[in-house]
Structures are given as C-alpha cells and as structure tokens.
Amino acid sequence: MKNEAIIDAIYARRSIRKFTDEAVSDEHIDILLKAAMAAPSATNAQPWRFVVTRDPKRLAAIRKEMPAGKINAPLAILVCADLTIFKRPITERFWTQDCSAATQNILLAAVGLGLGTVWCGVHPVPLIEKRMEKLLDLPANVKVLNVIYIGHPAEEKEARTQYDANKVFKDRYGEPWQD
C-alpha cells in the first residue's frame, strides 16, 4: 500500500488541549479502539486494556489527579496494561512499548476522524500511578500508562515534523548522516 495520507496524518497530529463541548460518538470511539488494538506488541501479547469515560464527574476526578493534565475534554481513554497475563517476566517488561504503540495508533486514527488528542503521562511517575490506581480501583498488577484526552478541537496547530539532521548518524554514532 502506498498512500501519502498516512504521512500527512503523522505530521498533522499535534497535542490539542482545547476542545468544544461536542460529544465523541460511539462510532468514533469504536474506530479509535480498533486502531489501538491493531498495534504491534511483543510476542503479540496485547497486554493493553482501555478505560473509556465520557462521564463528566469521572473526567473531573481524573483531571484533579493529573498534575500536568488538567484538560477539559468530553472523552478520556486511559491506556492500561494487565500484567497478570504474562507468564515470562521478559515479556512483561515490554508492556510500556506495547501500550505506547496502541496509544500512538489512537492519536493517529483521531486525526483521520477530525478529532484532537493529547497524551498525558501517568507511568512511570509513582505519585500519579498511585492516584490513578486508587481512582479507578484497579486490581493488583494492572498498570496505567497514560490518559488520552479526546474531543473536537477548539484550537488549531500547524502540521509539522521536527526533523533534525543532527540527530541522525551514518553507520556509527556521531558520524553525520548528511555532509
């Protein structure tokens, strides 16, 4: 498949922190979750679990517990991981990467739906992790990676890459990629 729309979507994805009151439809939530679960995961373990909330009281409670994520949005998806599924600790160690891949898929799918998103980090900050575990009354061995706030954007940001040739090396670290 060759499709430049995917590249455009990658550049268009920006953190949106202002949203209208318009609700996000069930159909759109379904698409976001299907995109999330299309992500790669180590040994295809799929440890991701998603807490989806549109409940204003719940959203207010989440906002209260997020030191740098007090965002007014009509929808939040909390990306969690169930570590009890892992039989071998070596695989368990990849849960952050697995859940990050699922998160990025949600952010990119949202671009395609005209929705805005912002990824607000929970793990690995113990204080915020503990707050979220308590708020969500999580079983033992369920972790929270982040809160993704989602809604119809009330701010515009320009599409862009942050490409920097100084961060790319040729053959060995430190050797410029471009002359």
Ligand X SMILES: Cc1cc2nc3c(=O)[nH]c(=O)nc-3n(C[C@H](O)[C@H](O)[C@H](O)COP(=O)(O)O)c2cc1C
Q: Report helix, strand or coil for 88.
A: coil
Residue closer to ligand X by CB (options 15, 46) is 15
CA distances from 22 to 34, 54, 82, 152 (A): 22, 11, 32, 7
Residue closer to ligand X by CB (options 60, 90) is 60
CB of 89 to ligand X, least distance (A): 23
CB of 166 to ligand X, least distance (A): 18
Contacts to ligand X by CB under 6 A: 14-15, 17, 68-69, 118-121
CB 107 within 8 Å of CB 31: no
Query: DSSP of 112-138, one letter per residue?
Result: HTT-EEEEEE-TT-HHHHHHHHHHTTP
Residue closer to ligand X by CB (options 9, 85) is 9
Residue closer to ligand X by CB (options 158, 171) is 158
CB of 176 to ligand X, least distance (A): 25
Output the residue with the shortest Cβ distance to ligand X. 121
Distance of CA 109 to the CA centre of its chain: 11
